[in-house]
Structure 1
Amino acid sequence: MCYHTATPGKKELQKAILGKDVLYDQPEIFHVSGFARPYLPVTLNSNVDEIIPARWKLIPYWVKSEADANKSANTLNAKGEEIFDKASYKNVIGKYRGLLYVNGFFEPHATNGKTNDQNFFVYMPDREIFTLGITYSIWRNEEGKEYPTFSILTTEANDQMADIHNVGKRMPLIVPEENRDAWLFADGRQEIEQLIIPFKGELASHRTTEVTKIRGTDTNVANIQDAIQ
């Protein structure tokens, strides 16, 4: 599953994603864990002309407080094949979809086929910004503050990702540029499901430090993405 990612900052987004008002003000993030519930750059289908901050981990409407949100079910990822049937998602996937802008993501790898003991950073061969498919909910906390929260959809791994994430064999839903509008504006379950497919293009990857195991140390540093042997 995709629980660790890297995202572009405001300047990178303004340069690479033309025609959108970038209201996301953060610098580049080299590594962040979804369990920190960070705010990351997204475009939502409620306003496709903007890139705004949204909080990773979809919070369903029935969750009433931040404390409950922190301990609620893990909704960092949403399994694409089941998304229309799960309580947390079935009322949002048909209406509320978006795109998460990333530079890459980190995935675990098991050298013995059983235990995840390595990490790989996965990115586009030309290092360009790309997008992951998300579904979202506008959540209101106990103080009446509203903000968007999201889950990253996942699919079965393609052949390349199955070799990396070899336990579980999953990958995030990568939405290529030519499918972005289709994902945002899809009408009905059939159209949406036709877009929830493994990525057909080529990805680049290399082994990195085991970021998924690091505790108590700042991992948002540029060399966290460096290749190791």
Structure 2
Amino acid sequence: MCYHTSTPSKKALREAFPKYHVDWDGNLYSPDEEYYHVSGFTRPWLPTTVNGKPDDIGLSRWKLLPFWVKSESEAAKYANTLNAESESIFQKASYKDYIGKYRGLLYVNGFYEPHKVAGQKDTENYYLYLPNKEIFTIGIVYSPWEDKETGNRYNTFSVITTAANEQLEEIHNEKKRMPLIVPPDKRDDWLAAKDPIEIKELMQPWDGEFLTHRTARVTAMKGDTNYPEIQNEI
């Protein structure tokens, strides 16, 4: 779950978060300046704040790579670390060395989830978002990773997931999970927390509610899906 999302432009982030320094290499981000739909399986670079630079919004690459992954060629073979379950994040080898000190925020304006319909082979897809496509933040765990073949260094991350709230239980009705939503009044706490108990307390299902509508089945699409109409209701 939470493999498909939409993310805002640099301009939108600067307007929404004027106190932050927003900057990144435009060649790494969406050629359309924002993502209307992007899949984690493409390992995109997305806008994040990490607690090592709490006043900056830059780019990190989706799919956390632990220190024992030595190169991009090796990373392609590595198991799926797009999502990290909050309940086991302090135990699993891929995350336990990072969750205590490397956390961050992923900036999105919506995400897509599959919905299972009884008696129907294919799932339906739903887009979830806030009024006026307001930017919101998802909690991430990240690894400051170095490619040993090239010497390149950058942050790689996993989206943290929790048990679904009541709304997501109905929509994402097979796995019943949702991304860790970090509301505005908890962002600083999430970045600054050091005690495992405090971190665990912050990883709770969001008690708010999204706007939502059915969309094209993006979770099964191939080719270009990064265009505004992909978010249209069907």
Q: TM-score, normalised to structure 2's length?
A: 0.94
**Is the counterpart of residue 143 in structure 1 residue 156 in structure 2?**
no
What is the letter of the counterpart of residue 67 of structure 2? Y
For residues 180-210 of structure 1, give each alpha carbon's deviation from its aligned partner in whole angstroms, at most 9, with x where no partner exists.
Answer: 0010001211000001011111211100000
Query: 3-state SS of the aligned residue for 1:153?
Result: strand
Instruction: Describe the shift of the 1:44–1:113 C-alpha distance in structure 2 as closer, same or farther (beyond 3 A).
Output: farther
CA distance in 2: counterparts of 1:61 and 1:7, whole angstroms: 27
**Is the counterpart of residue 61 in structure 1 residue 61 in structure 2?**
no
Query: 3-state SS of the aligned residue for 1:175?
Result: coil
For the aligned residue pairs, the C-alpha RMSD in angstroms reads: 1.2
CA distance in 1: counterparts of 2:117 and 2:95, whole angstroms: 34
**Is the counterpart of residue 162 in structure 1 residue 147 in structure 2?**
no
CA distance in 1: counterparts of 2:202 and 2:132, whole angstroms: 24
* Gap regions ≥5 residues in structure 1: none
Moved more, 118-127 or 96-105: 118-127
CA distance in 1: counterparts of 2:120 and 2:75, whole angstroms: 31
1:23-172 superposed matches below 5 A: 23-24=23-24, 25=26, 26=29, 27-112=33-118, 117-141=123-147, 142-172=149-179
**In the TM superposition, what is the alpha-carbon distance from 1:116 to its structure 2 partner?**
5.2
Query: 3-state SS of the aligned residue for 1:193?
Result: helix
CA distance in 1: counterparts of 2:19 and 2:121, whole angstroms: 44
What is the letter of the counterpart of residue 191 of structure 1? E
The question of whether the paired residues in 2 share the 8 Å contact of 1:125 and 1:202 is answered with no
The question of whether the paired residues in 2 share the 8 Å contact of 1:59 and 1:137 is answered with yes
**In the TM superposition, what is the alpha-carbon distance from 1:64 to its structure 2 partner?**
0.7
What is the letter of the counterpart of residue 48 of structure 1? P
Matched residue, 2:233: 227
What is the letter of the counterpart of residue 158 of structure 1? N
* Gap regions ≥5 residues in structure 2: none
The question of whether the paired residues in 2 share the 8 Å contact of 1:78 and 1:152 is answered with yes
4+ residue segments displaced more than 6 Å: none
The question of whether the paired residues in 2 share the 8 Å contact of 1:113 and 1:166 is answered with no
Instruction: Describe the shift of the 1:92–1:114 C-alpha distance in structure 2 as closer, same or farther (beyond 3 A).
Output: farther
Q: TM-score, normalised to structure 1's length?
A: 0.97
The question of whether the paired residues in 2 share the 8 Å contact of 1:135 and 1:151 is answered with yes
The question of whether the paired residues in 2 share the 8 Å contact of 1:8 and 1:29 is answered with yes
Moved more, 45-54 or 119-128: 119-128
Percent pairwise identity:
55
What is the letter of the counterpart of residue 162 of structure 1? E
**In the TM superposition, what is the alpha-carbon distance from 1:71 to its structure 2 partner?**
1.4
For residues 162-190 of structure 1, give each alpha carbon's deviation from its aligned partner in whole angstroms, at most 9, with x where no partner exists.
Answer: 10000010000000000000100012110
Number of equivalences: 227
CA distance in 1: counterparts of 2:137 and 2:119, whole angstroms: 29
What is the letter of the counterpart of residue 131 of structure 1? T
Query: 3-state SS of the aligned residue for 2:194?
Result: coil
